[in-house]
Structure 1
């Protein structure tokens, strides 16, 4: 008995003295009012425009985390800050248990959450636990093909119909969060992106350096499913979209920091005005088993990364994530995080004949929601590797960006839709929508049908003609279908009400000369009828 007690004591002592990962949550943001009064100090105009188009007001989550708080934590002996999240008002730190717990002495620290849940027994953790896990690489191996092209993986989703109609992602910005992008700066397959300035920039969050054309070639293959263009061999699903390339996955070690880096990169994507985030990183198990997830953790609220992904959605972004590649596992066949998040479009994989790929992780989420949401070709998907070879590859890592690219094309075709409406249209167009299951989710989407369905939906909606747009001085509002009076209100990029006027005739002119230049959301209301849209004031 003494020997057992001694072993337990030594194990506990080792854990307490070893370096641990934890999230430190802060109580407030002291400078929130100043930032909210000057939104361009924290977000780009494109980000503000995206929100205005979807009637999304700014809130305290948009405000940067307090630098004073970060500096104080960084100066604490034995504690190192590795990442920060303004959305969650937290920093990711590493240190011994005692050193990390000492941070509770600061009045601005509200809670501590250790990556190892067993260390949270002191009651200082927040209500939700947040444990990260490992990057699923097992099914990512490239398979050489003598020749191939990407027609099947695009046509399966009726994406070719969108391309024929000239919806190729132009004007939409996709942020790719992955493990590295070597070769994208030199390979011929990406020359169309480079020559047309479609690569807007990027960053290596792992090494904190601006060079993102490095590290693991996984991201190169992922990007190729959307942006590569080699005539008669491969055409990505969004060849004319713009891209930001962010490295968040370490190739040296699997640790909780990667989850925090992902959220940090998602926040930067939001700041820069990205419309879509696509990520082919899935987390379930870690090198340190104390950090591992269980299936019961796949509930959309426990993981730091999943909560960050859902916040991204509230900013007006569509988030697309790989479901995971553990479908063939006898013990953990289910989806990984952040695919479990409530508003993430989780993508599973099928083969070229639309059969479930054995490696594709299955659902539902731990709390019973439909997951994956949809599926696309991920078995023998056609990709470009970092040597420029066009090959077949297996993994939900490729089905997800195939969907993300066509999401950009769909949104280009339906520019007045919100992110929630776009995601809903994708789900509803899928072939298993009326009978979703654990392998296919809602099934294989039909993006051409989604456009058609949106057109039918718009035809039956009450419409006001609002013109000209852009407008310089006088805005005209015409309606033939509804009684007046009605009321028009305008909101600026920060969600503030800046204009309100009653409409008393079927054709009315609104004087906007005093309104500053910019993009505004309008809302017209009459009885129980409501119409929304956006205008550009010149």
Structure 2
């Protein structure tokens, strides 16, 4: 009977384990849990089911989520909805609950709605019971092969590049001339493009020699070490060494005339240390994802990453060549999402070119929208270590090629020494620099528009394949394909006689189909109110006018959406017209409406006096007094938050009534619970 009893207990445990809990564990984590002891901690991703309630505040105030520069970049893709659900922070209460359960938080990802961190088997089993947990998976870690280290870290003085012809170009490139001339960068520099105004994030193993003269004039606007959790991206006793990052950063943005010049030597730089070179598993994807989200919040335009993820040492779970399908690796999913937010993601294709598998790509180079960069020698011939495609789902990879053999770079020791290095690690920053130059020429280009231009102008544009992609980049040819946006000399608005007069003047027009006049009231979204046909092509200044007769008393914002003949668009700056009613007592419609939990209420009083603002249900029963006091004449506004009302609102229509000594106004509002 004792044996039978034990058997019944085991069966009972199997039966009562909820299927929903079992389904939360990924197959790779399930395998891992079966092989570890109870006390061993595992690095995992924990995905949440939602982001909680009270999210409307973020949508109403996008700059509380990301910077104004990030919003400006996103407007290239979607001018109406600058942020979406993926931009909202992970729920703080969920994170605190995990921490209280013994989970050690490492990184947070709002894009993935997840956190990474360390947990033992018992903690994971406990976490699985929380109803806000969607799933748990292993964070992938990466082991560089000896061959890859060799290709990425070659430092020797035996190579001599083709000397720069005298008197041909405006800058003296020294030994870096060959790597730049192959991709037509000197010719673009001669036209005055240097990457100014473009923000680039370089993600690497740290940057241990920023004292090198090549970085003396570099504008570094932000730095963070995601391995050690501090702002120091050098070595200084931390985990990981930054010689590789020193090399890659100098290749893209160094400036030491006569020795080394990078293609984007006047760009703004964000430096992120994401790789720990000390351990046997030096790279963790969550560091890279966290760095990418951080750079987005600052307003990055281009990322350059000379890292890749594929096979890992046991007992760590590896990706396979079949996983290089654009939808499996977490880093790839995050990279493609960044492109949807307007960021150009440039990544090394990998140094796995000798493999016998159908592809030798590394994530995130497999991403559909990622610019995967292979490597050539100084004459444009592919070098043997450069990874090849196609992706598992049949897409051509790499995308483009640049010089990755014997590239001239700043040395990781000393302040005036240089070296030659090899690997797709160095064709990547050269390519990212070209992207920065093209964005400088037209900042309104989206990542996909840029990719299409580069595909049309690279050396194998007509015969792409899975060893060269669309070929070696040709920066000058690509620049000549870019439609230059119309330059606005002025844009003005004036309110007179109950109309708004707009006028604007353009400089020489090369490609102007016309302008959409867009307008929004305070707190609302832009809407197109008119189309003004352009003058096409002209060498003279052109003056345009538009009269807006459909207006109401409020703050009114206008902007112009200039449209090129090839479909490219360019937005003007926003201008404000504050229309104040002269004699009318006005209660404006709340925004947003419907609302939950907050809405903005605005009104205008032409005289000083006591004013009362009250909320009623549809039957006229008073619910709350929102304001009661003396106000000066002018415009006023408050924010109504349902949490501040001592009554629980149900979904439906409510009345908002404003009274003064001599006036009364009322509007309807809709609350959706």
> For residues 332 and 45 of structure 1, do their structure 2 counterparts lie closer, same or farther at Cα, with a shift above 3 Å needed?
same
* 1:434-491, Cα deviation, whole Å (9 max, x unpaired): 2111211111011111111224xx7xxxx9x7855454545437999xxx99963357
1:145 to 140, 143, 157: 157
| 3-state SS of 2:106 partner | strand
| 3-state SS of 1:99 partner | helix
* 1:24-79, Cα deviation, whole Å (9 max, x unpaired): 111111242211111111111111111224435210111111111111111113x3
The reply on whether 1:190 has 2:225 as its aligned counterpart is no
| 3-state SS of 1:497 partner | coil
- Cα distance in 2 between the residues matched to 1:24 and 1:257: 19
Cα root mean square deviation, aligned:
3.3
Q: Tell whether the 8 Å contact from 1:203 to 1:247 is kept in structure 2 after alignment.
A: yes
Structure 1 range deviating more: 377-386 or 53-62: 53-62
- Cα distance in 1 between the residues matched to 2:368 and 2:522: 26
- Cα distance in 2 between the residues matched to 1:25 and 1:289: 23
- Which position in structure 2 is the counterpart of 1:508? 545
| 3-state SS of 1:15 partner | coil
TM-score (norm 2): 0.68
- Which position in structure 2 is the counterpart of 1:537? 574
Q: CA deviation at 1:419?
A: 2.2
Aligned length: 495
- Which position in structure 1 is the counterpart of 2:452? 424
- Cα distance in 2 between the residues matched to 1:486 and 1:113: 49
- Which position in structure 2 is the counterpart of 1:209? 230
Structure 1 range deviating more: 248-257 or 50-59: 248-257
The reply on whether 1:102 has 2:126 as its aligned counterpart is yes
The reply on whether 1:134 has 2:143 as its aligned counterpart is yes
Q: Tell whether the 8 Å contact from 1:202 to 1:244 is kept in structure 2 after alignment.
A: yes
| Structure with max Cα Rg | 2
Q: Tell whether the 8 Å contact from 2:521 to 2:554 is kept in structure 1 after alignment.
A: no
The reply on whether 1:82 has 2:106 as its aligned counterpart is yes
- Which position in structure 2 is the counterpart of 1:488? 517
* 1:116-150, Cα deviation, whole Å (9 max, x unpaired): xxxxxxxxxxxxxxx45334534112232266511
- Cα distance in 2 between the residues matched to 1:516 and 1:241: 35
> For residues 516 and 390 of structure 1, do their structure 2 counterparts lie closer, same or farther at Cα, with a shift above 3 Å needed?
farther
Q: Tell whether the 8 Å contact from 1:375 to 1:441 is kept in structure 2 after alignment.
A: yes
| 3-state SS of 2:222 partner | strand
> For residues 14 and 437 of structure 1, do their structure 2 counterparts lie closer, same or farther at Cα, with a shift above 3 Å needed?
same
Q: CA deviation at 1:96?
A: 2.6
2:425 to 377, 397, 402: 397
- Cα distance in 2 between the residues matched to 1:12 and 1:204: 30
The reply on whether 1:29 has 2:51 as its aligned counterpart is yes
Give the number of the structure with larger relative contact order, counting CA–CA contacts within 8 Å between residues 6 or more apart: 1
Mark the runs of 5 or more structure 1 residues left unpaired by the alignment.
1-9, 116-130
> For residues 445 and 232 of structure 1, do their structure 2 counterparts lie closer, same or farther at Cα, with a shift above 3 Å needed?
same
Q: Tell whether the 8 Å contact from 2:358 to 2:389 is kept in structure 1 after alignment.
A: no
TM-score (norm 1): 0.84
- Which position in structure 1 is the counterpart of 2:526? 498
Q: CA deviation at 1:245?
A: 0.3
* 1:74-122, Cα deviation, whole Å (9 max, x unpaired): 1113x3221111001011122233421321211111112235xxxxxxx
- Which position in structure 2 is the counterpart of 1:339? 365
- Cα distance in 2 between the residues matched to 1:207 and 1:468: 48
The answer to which structure has the higher helix fraction is: 1
Q: CA deviation at 1:266?
A: 0.3
The answer to which structure has the higher strand fraction is: 2
Q: Tell whether the 8 Å contact from 1:374 to 1:445 is kept in structure 2 after alignment.
A: yes
Mark the runs of 5 or more structure 2 residues left unpaired by the alignment.
1-30, 162-174, 236-240, 495-500, 535-543, 576-673
Q: CA deviation at 1:12?
A: 7.2
Q: CA deviation at 1:391?
A: 1.2
Query: 1:188-267 maps to which residues of 2 (within 5 A)?
Result: 188-193=213-218, 198-214=219-235, 215-255=241-281, 258-267=284-293
- Cα distance in 2 between the residues matched to 1:393 and 1:492: 56
Q: Tell whether the 8 Å contact from 1:52 to 1:492 is kept in structure 2 after alignment.
A: no
> For residues 293 and 477 of structure 1, do their structure 2 counterparts lie closer, same or farther at Cα, with a shift above 3 Å needed?
same
* 1:359-401, Cα deviation, whole Å (9 max, x unpaired): 1111111111111100100000111122242111011000000
Q: Tell whether the 8 Å contact from 1:134 to 1:254 is kept in structure 2 after alignment.
A: yes
- Cα distance in 1 between the residues matched to 2:149 and 2:90: 33
2:42 to 20, 36, 40: 20
Query: 1:2-13 maps to which residues of 2 (within 5 A)?
Result: 13=34
| 3-state SS of 1:307 partner | helix
The reply on whether 1:113 has 2:137 as its aligned counterpart is yes
Q: Tell whether the 8 Å contact from 2:397 to 2:469 is kept in structure 1 after alignment.
A: yes
